[in-house]
Every structure is written in C-alpha cells, then in structure tokens.
Amino acid sequence: MPQNQNPVLAQWLGPYGLPPFGAVAAAHYRPAFEQALAEHRAEIDRIAQNPAAPDFDNTIAALEDSGRLSRQVGAVFWNLCGTDSTPELEEIEREISGVLARHASETSMNAALFARIDALYARRGTLGLTREQLRVLELTHKDFMRAGARLEGAQRARMTAIVERLARLGAAFSQNVLADESSFLLLLDEDALDGLSESFRASAAALATERGASGKYGVSLSRSSVEPFLQGSARRDLREVAFSAWAKRGENGGETDNRAIIAEILKLRHERARLLGYENFAGYKLDDTMAKTLEAVRALLDEVWAAALEQARNERAALQATIEKEGANFQLGAADWRYYAERARKERYDLDQAEVAPYFQLDNMIAAAFHVAERLFGLRFVEQHGLDLYHPEVRAFEVLNERGEHVALFLGDYFARPSKRGGAWMSEFRGQEKLAGDIRPVVVNVMNFAKGAAGAPQLISLDDAHTLFHEFGHALHGMLSDVTYPCVAGTNVARDFVELPSQLYEHWLLEPGVLRRFALHAQTGEALPEDMLARIVAARNFNQGFATVEFCASAFVDLDLHERDQQGEIDVGELERASLARIEMPADIIMRHRAPHFSHIFSGDGYSSGYYSYLWAQVLDADAFEAFKEAGDPFAREMAEKLREHIYAAGGGQDARDAYTAFRGRMPTVEPLLRQRGFLTPD
C-alpha cells in the first residue's frame, strides 16, 4: 500500500497533530510497520556508513532523529492495543512484537554504528557538548552496551533471538491477562446486594446491561468494580467468588494460563543477563537505576517491611475481634479483609464509603487535578469537542500556559470496557522534543473506572481519585517536558525515579483547600462538610499496614524471581510461595499482584526487578512534599518553580540523584515516608 494511501504513514495534519483515528483500520498496520522499519534500517545504514568522522550531530543527533515513521506507527498501534484491543490487533501484536524487538536488537548490535558511538564516548570530555548532549551521548552508549553491542558471533545471534522471543512472550502474557479479566462477570440479583452502596449498584446495573444482562447487577475484575464490591458486600460467599477470580487471573489452566510463559521468561532473562556479564537479571536491571544495587533496594524494603508487618498484624487482630464480637465462627480470610476494614474505618472515623462517595464526582476530580496544575505551574485546560479521537468516550483538552500559548493536548480515557486492559496508565501519541522543531506532546491518561448509569452523576471512590491524580502527575511529566532530544524527554528517566512526579501529585488531592472546592455533593451541590473532611484527612493512614504489606510482598517476589539462578524446572507457584514464606507473609493478605497476572514485570521488562520503584519513589515524594510543608504553603511559588524546572520539565537530561538534589538541596531520608504511613509518631 503506497504511503500516501495508508493513514498511519501519512503526515498527520489534523488538529494538534492527532492521528487520523477514524481512517485507520487493522489492515493498515502490517504494511505500515514494514515500510517504517525499512526506512529506519536505511537511516541507520546511512549513519553507520557515513564516511565523515563521527561527531555528535552526524551520529548521536542523527540517531535521535531517525525512526520517526516507526515511532509514529507504533504510537497509534500500541496505544490502541491497550485501550481498544480486537482479535485482529492481538494477532498483529503477537507477530510484530518480535519483529520490532529483532529490529531494535540488530540496531543496537550494528558494529559500524556502535564503533562511531564508542569513539565519541571515549573522547566525550573534549567535544564541547552541552549538559543535555553529554547526557544523551552517555545514555546512548550505555543503552547499546546493555543491549549487547560488544557481543560477537554466536553470542550476538543468541541475544537477538532472546530479545525477540521475550517480546513475543510479553505480548502473550498481556493478552492472557486481558482474556481472563474480560471473560469474567459475576451477575447478581437484587437480593444479593446487601451492604453495597447506591452508587455501586448503579454502576453494576450499567455494567450488566452493557454486557447483555439487563435487570441484573455485574461485578467485573476491573479494580474499580471488584474492590468496592469486596469492601461493601455483606455476602461472604460472593466475596470469595469474586476474590478468587481476581487472585487467579492468569492461573486458570488452558490457553490463558501464564505459568509456563513466566518460566520461559525467567530463563531467557537470566541467560540474557549472563551474556552481558551480570550474575543475574536483577543485577542487570538495577545497574541502570537510581538505587544502583540490590543491596540498596533490599535495605529499603526490609526497613519498611518490618514496620508494615507489625502494623498489619495489629490491624488483623482488630478485624478478627470484630468478627468474634458479632458471634461469627471463622478466621479472617483474604476475601474478608477489605469488608471488615471498611467497617472498622466507619467505626473509627465515622466514615462510610456510601456517605463519602457522592462528594467525589469524576468531572469535579478532573477539574481538581487541573486546578492544582494551574496553581503550581500556571496551566489552563480547555476542553475541545468534535475531534477525531480513538473512542467516543475519550475527552480532549488543550493545555495552555500563563501566556495563552499551546503546551500540549491532553486526552482522558476514563471508563472500563472489555477491550481495555486493566489498570491505569499514562502514554503518549507524540512526545515533546525540539530536535525537529518545537514539537508539543499529545498525552493520554487511561483509567478503568466503573461507569455509572446513563444520565446519573459519575461517582468515583476516594481510591479512584488518588489513581486519577497519580496518572495525571505522569501526564504532567510528559506535558511539561522541556528538552531537545527525544530519548530524555518526559518520562524517559530512571525507572525508580519515574514515579516521583505521579506519587508526589497525589498529595494535593487531600489538601483541605482542594477538597473544599471540588468535593461537592452530586445531588445538593454542597461542599464536603468540615467534619467529614477532617475525618478523611485523619483516616489517610488507616489500613496502611495492609496496603504496604501487599505492595512489599510483590516487590520481594519480583526481586526473588529475578535474582535466583534459573537452572532446571521452574515452578512459578512454588517460587512465589517460598518467597512469601521467607518474609513471613500473613496468610490473610495476598500480594497486590500475583505472578500469573503481574503485568508490570511480565508484559514487558519495564518494571521487572523494579516493582520496588513505587516505594523508592515514595521515599522521594514524601520528602519532596515536606519541602512545601516547610515553606508553609502547599502551593509555595518558589518550590513549585523548582519542582517544575528540576523534576517535571527536566526529563532525563541529568542523573536522577542530581535532579532531586537540585530541587531539594539534598537527598531524601526514609523517615517522612514512615511518618506518612503512620509507622512513626509525628515529630
């Protein structure tokens, strides 16, 4: 298909440089990838075979400028695979993931190209580069080294095969999780809704109707559906059905079972690390992080784990006492914890989720996130209508700065649907850069909120509101990016630093001034009562032992799986059980993400040996928010300007430790995190 007839390949001339979504069909992707990769190979060959001596512009900048067509095609394809998957897209995904991985591997192991990069790296101190250029050169050299640029012969061929196979396995893992999530629907009758709020009932009725079961109430495995059900349902038998399905995603036997895939992934990752000279895959991954070493990560996890485990045991005892007080004759189970925790929350803080829910309308929480960005960074968000977007539910906002100049286009895709993979994330259809002109980003936030009944106010939980603020923090990291080179733009930072902008942003959700303005009752329009606001703020540390234990357990298992020698048969279930036994995991709490559906670490290797990053970044974000407390104002102008300059706008243009120190004046300590979670007595 000629380029001018393929909308994925054509120059995107629509408003804000959006892809022509309405013109794109699944049949366009294969020929688009083929042509884009052919062009990129030709570009790489021209750089590698350039007769001129290597310099920054003809090698590093040229490499950064190459592959634009491939990135353009991939931006549309991979975003839609996550949000609107179809059998046709899944088939292409399984095929193209390996093709792209092979292409990337062959590029990284192009001997002539690496020779030019290596020569520049050897004399980097004499080239007169800017700080950002030097950083790009160093990162490019390191990326090529970590991809196997120095390998030769059979080792080089084996590395290419491993990378290609891992990409295919990651795609299969992701598709299996999506299949298990989308195939489950627990249908309930009216008499099975005891304990569930009116807002949950409305969204459950809408879900059942959408799935062709009008008159029933549906519970899906979307976190925004199953967690409120587990928190509210008085039916222990139904809680156990939903919880079991949630816990066993990817572990149900048959074609969607991920255990054999995980075993092969672990073996191949270990082999890859050994080829590159590392003892294990954990060592390989951590070498390229802010933490640097496994010892540093385990020291943090151990310190937090000890405090969290003690807290969780105290929480468990209180919940068991409630069960016994009611005369029930059973031990608290994993499917019970959320239900009894919600009852304890109500008793201790007089907080009932059904009472709180009407104050958290989705539109108002979006407006609250925008408001905080305006107060901190001077941004304005103007909704745009009539744009050609990839789904009717997606909303678009032009982002303007204080001078009314265009900053970015922000897309919000908020509701769960069967074609969308679970979870929440930020992505880009176009990243910021200045290499090819002042290119402004097109950023998307994807959520999986349970959709309410037609015409009714769309309510979300307080946890959902935290998720919205979290992902919007990532979005701001992409939108405020102000660098020249694509490889260091936006969220292209160390994995254990990338969560700082998102987790830090969550702090502003619970600022009293924000809640007073945006937490308005859906029916009356009245502001959140002051006593309820105080109770919400007071309850922020409630159940933190449980939350921290379920998180840390996943982080420990992630590290244990990738640190071990992967010889012999691998029984993923047994490895998971052994890891949890080592840390004395409570029987009534499960990992936040069990291995068979742990997409963070097995759908790709972005967070493999790196799930701890959320905790590492929480040390940073707790310390960073204290800077605003010390300034006496959560919107302190001087701190906000430093935050924008050194964190949100800087991308990966400097080492993460240097970036944080430039903002804070020092590296953080763990005490603010422990205080934030209620594990230490406040000063």
Q: What single letter denotes the amino acid at residue 127?
A: L
Helix (H) or strand (E) holding 217: strand 217-219
Question: What are the beta bridge partners of residue 439?
Answer: 433
| Inter-residue contact 439 to 479 (CB < 8 Å) | no
Answer whether 487's CB lies under 8 Å from 139's CB. Answer: yes
φ and ψ of 543, to 5 deg: 65, 20
Residues in the chain: 683
Q: Across the chain, which distance is largest between two alpha carbons, in Å?
A: 84
Tell me the HSE value of 350 on the side-chain side, using a 13 A CA sphere. Answer: 6
Q: Select from 204, 197, 236 the least CA-distant residue to 219.
A: 204
The residues near 142 (Cβ < 8 Å, ≥ 6 apart) are 288
Distances (CA, A) of 667 to 336, 371, 403, 465, 661: 40, 29, 34, 29, 6
Phi, psi of 147 (to 5 degrees): -90, -5
Among 129, 55, 101, 133, which residue's Cα sits nearest to residue 488? 133
DSSP 144: H
Instruction: Compute how many other C-beta atoms are within 10 angstroms of the C-beta atom of residue 145.
Output: 17
Name the residue with tokens 């990053």.
Answer: 613
Catalytic residue list: 471
**Contact assessment for residue 379 and residue 505, using Cβ atoms and an 8 Å cutoff:** no
* Segments in 540-670 forming alpha helices (H): 544-563, 572-582, 599-602, 613-631, 637-643, 656-664
Q: What angle do CA 315, 460, 82 make, to 5 degrees?
A: 100
Please classify residue 221 by burial: count the beta carbons closer than 10 Å to its beta carbon, then call 0-12 exposed, 13-18 middle and 19+ buried.
buried
| Tokens describing residue 541 | 């540390």
- One-letter amino acid identity for 198? E
d(CA 6, CA 22): 12
Contacts of 434 (CB under 8 A, 6+ apart): 483, 484
242-276: burial string, b at 16+ Cβ within 10 Å, e else: bbebbebbbbbeeebbbbebbbbbbebbbebbebb
What is the full DSSP assignment across 46-59? HHHT-SSPP-IIII
Query: Which residues, at least 6 apart from 603, have a Cβ–Cβ distance to it below 8 Å?
Result: 170, 171, 173, 174, 177
